[in-house]
Structure 1
Amino acid sequence: MSAISHSRAAQVAYQDLLRLHLDEVASDLIGSVEERCRNGRIYLYDKFRLGTEMKSRYLGEGSPELRARLARSAELKAQGGDRRKTMARLARVLRAEGLIGTDRDTGSLLLAFARAGVFRLGGTLVGTAAYALYQGELGVRFDSEELAQTGDIDFASFERLSVALGDRVEESPGEILQALKFDPVPGVQDRQIWKWRQNRGEAMVEFLTPAFGDEGVKPLPALKVSAQGLNYLNFLIAEPIPAIALYRSGVLVRIPRPERFAIHKLIVADRRQGGPDQAKARKDRGQAAFLISVLAEDRPDDLAEAFADARSRGPRWRERLEASLARMPETAEVLRGLM
């Protein structure tokens, strides 16, 4: 299927809405910016007094973009009323231009998680819910069949980042999910809870974390949840990007880089092949093929770098990639053309 671009007006509206949401976050600065260095990285915190105690709230990694926004925090706070009106208008423009919005159940969940700090503290939306948001990031039209939900809403985070941040969500995802009528699903062996099932439907929310061999359940202290370890996930959620889920005036979330998502789908599809999730493997290949066709045209260097990165990680990685590409000759030819 060839990609059809959204209008220039839609692409500009999406980028403007994303920028305004990032400004909105920076406008919430309460005290002064504090820097902390861990493992060669700089993390920024909002340090403020609450009563007789000093508090620290994690803001993000110390990128030039975040620093510039925080330097304008007072100005951004003063512009809050006008900014929120513009955000609502831009969301209306995007709907009118044909961007497919997030359904109510997913949107309300993402909004609650965003308000609690799940994405601020390292949570990344993955799976089909993340794939749907590439229509804005890449400026291309998706049809409803491409965005058909599997019923799962998946979140991922690095265990080591969750431990290192020294901050926690304001309300635990478990509490939010129970308020939204999701029931915890204890693990079969250790009874740790890393997934919840909606009690009035088939939707499932799962928390995942990278594994490097043993795919056990691990704690994510910053998010106050446990998460199922999965091999290859570290590749997917490295260097996530901000994105807007089109619900109300937009919800600011984090998703994987599209080129990493596409290449990771090739690996996941091979892992599922021949198992109970074989139908999902076909969907994985379809999503990978579509993204690769778009990225090969619009962001070939990013795609080539991600493909080379995955191939460089060892023979098992290459075997899984080649196994999926053997079923996708057109996609394989596209990727070979980038090497």
Structure 2
Amino acid sequence: MKDAVNPPLPVLVSPVSVTAGAVLHSADFIRHRLRAGGRDSIVLYAGVQINGTPHLGTNVMQSAAFLLAQAARERFGVAARIRFGALDNAPYETRACPETGSLYERSYRQALGGRRIEELVARHYGGLFDELSAATGVGYEVETYTSQQSGHAFREEFLASLGLMDTLRWVLAPSSGTVPVNFPCPQCGWSQKFGERTELLSAGDQEARFAAFCLDHGKYLVDVTPATDAFIGLTTLHRNLVKERVAARDDALPVIVKGADWAPGCRLLDEAFLCYPGTLPPPRLFTPVVLCDSGAKLSKSLIRQGAADLPAATEPWMLDASVWEGTVGEYARMLLGLVSRMLSEPRHFERGYTTREVARLMGRRGPGPSGGAG
């Protein structure tokens, strides 16, 4: 009778992976770095975009981070915790110069302010992270990009990257060699997206001076030292390089957790690391990506713009976690169950899953009505 009420979940079938026979669990990819460095603790780093409600793919990556940290603790006997970087530098609004077409943008941080950013983080991730932490016994912390870039270590690494930019620019931007930096206008918070009118005037180990331009307030100067508070806007690869260089200063082994769609970009990050004498890039763990029927990554923005179709068997909560029918605790348990199955073998973890396949694995026959947030 019980089996009729709770039938077994559908079987998960994956092709043989390159690492089949060599790796029993995806956490084992970091074993050699733990042994080589003699570390007794690890910190897993993952990013959180603060630009709207999360979708399933984002929450799969976050759940995987907790489960990977738990597995590392149990398999290697090390302390493990997670540090989520809340990217409050995502663009909130954009405008174009009427004469040149050059784009200017204002980030969530500049548009909303610190208190509203904290509210967004708490609303979209606080309850879920607390549930995942309680279930796995893994602690976590959330730090905004604004806070990260204001630290002495970040600014020191940023200044160091300027000294290596003749080499780094062809790694971080191999097609153009242009790695822009932008600084929000101190009066209005707008900055030039691609930094066409941002000029490096001088640079040294402890200080750099830039000239930038605002559509409304004209030219302004920015001085960057380890102690100044100017907001530093960097390209995605440049920002991640600096953040990972800062993470490498920690006594714990830094482990970078990203969706598998990041793998091509990490090739460039790893090469950028090697531009620094005597350094190695951090170990990386890539989590499954949730896909559309076409095989492309599930993208709310493309669907909203009409550039991609809503995939079949995509339930409302897969695109917007806030309409999950039930409590946050039930959502967390669903995620942990789903991602635990993915982690049961590396071949299951080293692949993508369409929303249709996720629904099948959950034993759900199709989309149902959306409900309120848990």
TM-score if structure 2 supplies the norm length?
Answer: 0.27
Structure having the higher helix fraction is 1
> Which is higher, the Rg of structure 1 or of structure 2?
2
Higher relative contact order (CA 8 A, sep 6+): 2
TM-score if structure 1 supplies the norm length?
Answer: 0.29
